[in-house]
Amino acid sequence: MRVTPTKAKNRFGSICAQTKRGPVFVEKAGQIDSVILSAKHDKVVWVENPVSGDSG
């Protein structure tokens, strides 16, 4: 699924529910800018592409 940043912000609860079925791509200016994943999918990303440091 692809959404605009505004739709992702305004429908965050719905977008979070959608992530359980698959990643949601946030598109800006016609290009994918970000990806929203469920915690289940997040573990796959961390194993494949670990990031050092704390982003929080």
User: 3-14 pLDDT, tens per residue?
Assistant: 999 999 999 999
Q: How far apart are CA 21 and CA 28, in angstroms?
A: 22
Q: What is the pLDDT of residue 39?
A: 79
pTM exceeding the 0.85 threshold for the entire prediction: no
User: 14 with 35: CB under 8 angstroms?
Assistant: no
Q: What is the mean pLDDT of each run of 10 residues along the chain (56 residues)?
A: 95 93 92 87 60 51
